[in-house]
Amino acid sequence: MSKKIIIGNWKMNPLTLKEAEKLFNNVAKNVSGIKKTEIVICPPFLYLERLKKISKKINLGAQDAFWGDAGAYTGEISAEMLYNIGARYVISGHSERRALGESNTDVNKKVRASLSVGLRPVLCVGESARDENHGYFNFIKTQLEECLAGISKNSISKITIAYEPIWAISSTPNRQDATSDDSREMAIFIRKILSDKFGPEASQMRIIYGGSVNEKDAEEFLKNGGVDGLLAGRASLDAKKFVEIVKTCEILSK
Ligand code: PGA
């Protein structure tokens, strides 16, 4: 199994390159001793090239990649362009993009295009609410099956699955806290779906948790949430908090 992974999703922040450099530098200078944890930061596209020059330790990821190779797709950015500029990861199917209309079919095309150029997809799945009849399990199953359709066993070790219950994400109105039990239960379920679909190779895929992760609950999710890492949004905009999450992961990996 690969190293544990901590991913920061900056979303549409910060507003200037100067602030982006400052935030990135403040993380970079405090993670030089980290060896057992993979660190990924996903800034807005237009900061990637500059941030790439600052640190070799931190991998860069994009927050989306379009499925077309090149051509008449106004406003889109292809997976290959992102790879060429230095990104090595890409978030696929984030709930905030799904809310803007992205379907499982779109996400599947994006995951496949990303894999074909060597970008490692971080495929986000997550239900908007939990119902008493546990229908959310089927919802996650469908998301996984449709988003991973047609992907070969050879490439699945490159994919990380991020379980992000929408009801726990910091920007969701009236959000609720998810617990490490919620995470562990779903991680076990996801692992089962993946192994049914891909066989033993599925054990190579990382499953991580995201949804208001912070420097205080990171330890609990990493210890008892059944996951191989975390995806932090809001907490990744605070270098100190993000570094603390990375360090917590490092200590637990020893
Ligand atoms: P959050 O975001 O940590 O701010 O809840 C996580 C995400 O949406 O990826």
Decide if 201 is catalytic: no
- pLDDT computed for residue 184 by the predictor: 98
Contacts of 251 (CB under 8 A, 6+ apart): none
Q: Give the whole-angstrom CA distance, residue 3 versus residue 78.
A: 28
For ligand 1, whether the C-beta of 212 sits within 6 Å is yes
The tens digit of pLDDT for each residue in 23-58 reads 999 999 999 999 999 999 999 999 999 999 999 999
Whole-number Å distance, alpha carbon 188 to ligand 1 midpoint, is 21
Q: Is the pTM of this model over 0.75?
A: yes
Active-site entry in 38, 96, 127, 164: 164
Burial class (CB in 10 A: 0-12, 13-18, 19+), 75: exposed
Q: Over the chain (254 residues), what is each successive 10-residue block's mean pLDDT?
A: 93 98 98 97 98 96 97 98 98 98 98 98 97 94 98 95 97 96 98 96 96 98 98 98 98 89
Residue 26's pLDDT is 98
Among 63, 161, 212, the mutation site with the greatest number of ligand 1 atoms within 8 A of its Cβ is 212
The answer to whether the CB of 25 is under 6 A from ligand 1 is no
Question: Which tokens belong to 84?
Answer: 């060429």
**pLDDT (0 to 100) of residue 115:** 98
Copy the structure tokens of residue 50: 């500059």
Tell whether ligand 1 has an atom less than 6 A from the beta carbon of residue 172: no
What is the reported pLDDT for 174?
Answer: 95
Rounded Cα distance between 154 and 13, Å, is: 35
Question: What pLDDT was estimated at residue 2?
Answer: 85
User: For residue 211, which atom of ligand 1 is closest to its CA?
Assistant: 5
Q: Which of 170, 217, 241 to mutate to test the pocket of ligand 1 (most atoms within 8 A of CB)?
A: 170
What is the C-alpha to C-alpha distance for residues 38 and 69, in angstroms, rounded to an integer?
A: 28
SS (H, E, C) the chain: CCCEEEEEECCCCCCCHHHHHHHHHHHHCCCCCCCCEEEEEECCHHHHHHHHCCCCCEEEEECCCECCCCCCCCCCCEHHHHHHHCCCEEEECCHHHHCCCCCHHHHHHHHHHHHHHCCEEEEEECCCCCCCCCHHHHHHHHHHHHHCCCCCHHHHHHCEEEECCHHHCCCCCCCCCCCHHHHHHHHHHHHHHHHHHHHHHHHHCEEEEECCCCCCCHHHHHHHCCCCEEEECHHHHCHHHHHHHHHHHHHHCC
Contact 202, 191 (CB under 8 A): yes
CA–CA gap between residue 47 and residue 49 (Å, rounded):
6
Is 94 a residue of the active site?
yes
Cα(71) to ligand 1 centroid in Å equals 32
Residues paired with 91 in a beta bridge: 122
Strands 229-232 and 37-42: unpaired
Q: Which of 242, 239, 234 is nearest to 215 (CA)?
A: 242
**17-51 exposure pattern, b = at least 16 Cβ within 10 A, e = fewer:** eeebbebbeebbebbeebeebbbbbbbbbebbeeb
* Residue 1 confidence (pLDDT): 66
